[in-house]
Structure 1
């Protein structure tokens, strides 16, 4: 990807601007994904605040901020192909705003309601503009039955939708509502029906190793995992250096305070192959 022709990069950015998402032309190899799976499995077994459980307190739902304490995850963040793509989409130097892994366990993974990521970053953290990008890396094969992301193309151009009123302290919710199935910021079913009627819905599917980019303001959700197959999705959010929140209050594992531009670095453990 780092050597993709300029014409291809232009097409991808055009897709991103128009539809709010696109699929990378390459995916991580099986060896690279196996390394990430091993690290996610090990971290999931640790008792630490970055590890979030499902509402019933059973299986792991998500882990956050792994790049701050895991060497392999930090190496992933610095890969030139990812950093350079983020810089091209955003238009300048970037830093890592957020690292997380959303895990839908077989038959037990709970849904994520319809929402926009930028609602949280704007209203809770004070991010000035949606000059950021999410890269979603599939750690498992993603199919229609194990809770794939569903997006409404073009919805990122509409701004923030259905925001609740803020409390007197300027905050809407406890940060735990930002990592659970009961999200503090959601898009109403009526709005989703209207938008989907105009623009349709698209499923983000693919083999393990696939990479998708999507805009912070795109309306998206994911259903329950109804299958025997786990669905783990690793998400890297790169933010423009000049778009960093001035004084975020949420935990550092949700909002990284290090806003220095990322210095790209190759790592032989993370190789790519053409995605068919």
Structure 2
């Protein structure tokens, strides 16, 4: 039996704003994990937490080596988990990296990562989705403004906003090579999007998302209210952000690629159901239903 839909989307002719009242951004307490009370308070308020040096230099070098091996692996040619840029055919994203790579699987289980996810979500967690976003130089396309939760709710059947994402920089994130932008505090407002979900929508949306993107008036309202924060920093830095944060990134026309390891943790108490706005759920590598507690 499906839960009550607290965040209806892709149903109405006009966009709607749903204010978040049921789901806190922080479910745990200071003593439950690595984050301090101040960090948890800021995460609740802004919807994100930045950590400047999550990886030590040797750990970063090992992760970069692993990334390069994945990007060059001929066994992944034609694999549906590899998404390529529409205009250049260069790799845009590689999904399921925690299953493709024992190195990244072990890294995700580290207490500095899984421990923070458990603390924020106040429960055991599992990996809903993992990927590497590789925004190559001279042609990395933008990621449009969106809330991840809108897609996970509509197409994966995630019932509540009890999920958190980690974006771990594997290259320098400059202000000019397509680094992440978030509207602080936007996680408190759910933007209900217009337009029915096409069949197998993920095949197009992973290259360029259209269905499930918010309207310009809603984006302008959120930006006027909250502003926009752009994250820059050295390789090895990290950002934790709430599933409903409004975020996006510009394209990259510089010579400097921007690569990030992106991990979505979901609470075991927030198990996926039938999709709320799609005929069938997306493939396992996009929204895992065969989860293992970390």
Of residues 50, 55, 58, the one that matches 2:86 is: 55
* 1:12 counterpart residue number: 39
> Could you say what secondary structure the match of 1:192 adopts?
helix
Counterparts of 1:182-201 in structure 2, within 5 Å, are 182-201=209-228
* 2:68 counterpart residue number: 41
The answer as to whether partners of 1:154 and 1:218 remain within 8 angstroms in 2 is yes
* 2:254 counterpart residue number: 227
Of residues 117, 131, 139, the one that matches 1:100 is: 131
Of residues 154, 171, 183, the one that matches 1:152 is: 183
User: CA offsets per residue over residues 44-64 of structure 1, 9 Å max, x none?
Assistant: 233122111001252100000
TM-score under structure 1 length normalisation: 0.86
Quick check: 1:179 aligned with 2:210? no
How far apart are the structure 1 equivalents of 2:199 and 2:50?
33
Count of residues paired in the alignment? 255
Quick check: 1:212 aligned with 2:239? yes
How far apart are the structure 2 equivalents of 1:43 and 1:50?
12
How far apart are the structure 2 equivalents of 1:24 and 1:178?
30
How far apart are the structure 2 equivalents of 1:89 and 1:106?
34
Counterparts of 1:124-143 in structure 2, within 5 Å, are 124-143=155-174
Residue range with higher mean Cα deviation, 135-144 or 45-54: 45-54
> Could you say what secondary structure the match of 1:28 adopts?
coil
Q: CA deviation at 1:7?
A: 9.4
* 2:283 counterpart residue number: 251
> Could you say what secondary structure the match of 1:242 adopts?
coil
Change beyond 3 A, Cα 1:255–1:82: same
Residue range with higher mean Cα deviation, 24-33 or 214-223: 24-33
Change beyond 3 A, Cα 1:26–1:41: closer
User: CA offsets per residue over residues 129-188 of structure 1, 9 Å max, x none?
Assistant: 0101001100001011100111101110012x1412435xxx665112331123421122
The answer as to whether partners of 2:34 and 2:116 remain within 8 angstroms in 1 is no
TM-score under structure 2 length normalisation: 0.81
The answer as to whether partners of 2:148 and 2:244 remain within 8 angstroms in 1 is yes
> Could you say what secondary structure the match of 2:175 adopts?
coil
The answer as to whether partners of 2:34 and 2:112 remain within 8 angstroms in 1 is no
Please report the RMSD computed on the Cα atoms of aligned residues, expressed in angstroms: 2.0
Quick check: 1:260 aligned with 2:292? yes
How far apart are the structure 1 equivalents of 2:57 and 2:86?
32
The answer as to whether partners of 1:166 and 1:172 remain within 8 angstroms in 2 is no
How far apart are the structure 1 equivalents of 2:54 and 2:186?
26
* 1:265 counterpart residue number: none
How far apart are the structure 2 equivalents of 1:49 and 1:154?
35
Quick check: 1:86 aligned with 2:110? no
Q: CA deviation at 1:228?
A: 1.3
How far apart are the structure 2 equivalents of 1:133 and 1:176?
24
Change beyond 3 A, Cα 1:231–1:7: closer
Change beyond 3 A, Cα 1:67–1:7: closer
Residue range with higher mean Cα deviation, 71-80 or 242-251: 242-251
How far apart are the structure 1 equivalents of 2:264 and 2:98?
12
* 1:110 counterpart residue number: 141
How far apart are the structure 1 equivalents of 2:168 and 2:231?
11
The answer as to whether partners of 1:145 and 1:225 remain within 8 angstroms in 2 is yes
Q: Which runs of 5+ in 1 are unaligned?
A: 263-276
How far apart are the structure 2 equivalents of 1:25 and 1:40?
20
